[in-house]
Amino acid sequence: MINMKQITLFSIFAFAVSTLSAQVEVKLGTVAPTGTPWAAELNAIKKRVEAESNKAIKMRIYLGGQLGGENEILQGIRKGRIQGGGLTAGAVASVVPEMDMLEVPYLFDSSKQADCVLDNHLLEPFKQLFDEKGLIFVSWAENGYRNIGTKTKEIKTPADLKGVKIRSQESKIHLEFWKKIGASPVPIAIPEVLPSLQTGVVDGFDNTALMTLAAEWQTAIKFYTVTEHIYQPAVVVYSKQFYDKVPDDQKKILIGQGNGQAAGARAAVRRLSASLIKALEENSVTINKLSEGEKGAFKTASAGIGELMVGKIGGKASMIFNKIKEAKGSCGK
């Protein structure tokens, strides 16, 4: 005969099994290395989601390209093998081509203007475009302004890049930029950049000072030119295939403040800016800060890429580009 103690133990066991089986597991992938603001942002999402769901949702963060390069992570998210992640706009453009219009060289006059355009004018159009491609848009984030790092040749003018083998992000607009200014772009995924620099597959790259230091690319270069030629947003996304299957209460927890998270993520990246340039100098990298006139030469050399990409991308690229140009007028500089 089963006594009350046995019944109680059985009930506790049954509850535990039922809770365990109901737990939703979420893998978030990114190429962002540990110890960066990007990693901190994803870990903050993990902490909040697990707390608000009373651990009914369990998150695992895979940093530093543990799940592959950005294109591999993105495909995993679309297929539901990876439930979400943090990705640059350039990477997402392989699936949502209109994202390339955000990375037209010298598109924005300031970070403040970029924030205004993205948050107040492009949020809803991109949410719809993402949804159509199997992605749930959660929030804008930031990689920042991209600059040029090189091994043997200091870059001061576009002419200095002629024939130089440059690692390019696997993005149409990045490849177009390098070709337009005369460089020889080589598309390489993030995890392969450092060995490619070390072995001479490429002689340089472009990225933010933060990513350069976080990925230890500064160990393979001697020069870093502050061109600020592309402002690169990033995004936090979930897999639509995964998201559509979870209950509504868990959907709300996963989204949280939505794009309300963007301001904090951006601020965390931006407040490191000056100290990161100094850190590069301390790592024996020569910093070349361009004057406005010198930047003007890069602007001139890359002019017309926006209009060119509208024609190449098609879809809603024209609508997005027009919205950006109109929004800049109301957002100010």
d(CA 97, CA 126): 11
Give the start-to-end residue ranges of the domains of the chain: 21-331
- Give SS3 for 64: coil
For the beta carbon of residue 55, count every other beta carbon within 10 angstroms.
12
- Which residues neighbour 198 within 8 Å (Cβ) at sequence distance 6 or greater? 220
Q: What pLDDT does residue 21 have?
A: 43
For residues 237-251, average pLDDT: 97
Span 303-314, pLDDT tens digits: 999 999 999 999
Structure confidence at residue 7 (pLDDT): 41
Q: What is the amino acid identity at position 88?
A: T
- Say if residue 122's pLDDT is above 70: yes
At residue 138, does pLDDT exceed 60? yes
Residue 97: CB atoms within 10 A of its CB come to 22
Per the structure block, which two tokens stand in for 117? 């355009």
Q: Residue 328: what pLDDT?
A: 96
Question: Could you read off the pLDDT of 39-48 as tens digits, one per residue?
Answer: 999 999 999 9
CATH architecture of the domain covering 21-331 = 3-Layer(aba) Sandwich (3.40)
pLDDT tens digit string along 195-225? Answer: 999 999 999 999 999 999 999 999 999 999 9
Average pLDDT of 122-138?
A: 98
pLDDT given for residue 270 in this prediction: 94
How far is C-alpha 90 from the chain's CA centre? 7
The band of 111, judged by pLDDT with boundaries at 50, 70 and 90, is: very high
Name the percent of the chain lying above pLDDT 70. Answer: 93
Tokens 């904090």 label which residue? 264
Q: Return the higher-pLDDT residue of 273 and 165.
A: 165
pLDDT for residue 330 is more than 60: yes
Query: What does pLDDT average to over the chain?
Result: 93
Q: Tokens 């690319």 correspond to what residue?
A: 217
| pLDDT band at residue 17 using 50, 70 and 90 as cut-offs | very low
pLDDT of 22 reads: 65
**Confidence band for 10, pLDDT divided at 50, 70 and 90:** very low
pLDDT, tens digit, for every residue of 250-293? 999 999 999 999 999 999 999 998 899 999 999 999 999 999 99
Task: Supply the pLDDT for residue 3.
Answer: 54
Element (H, E) at 296: helix 292-301
Residue 194 has pLDDT above 70, yes or no: yes
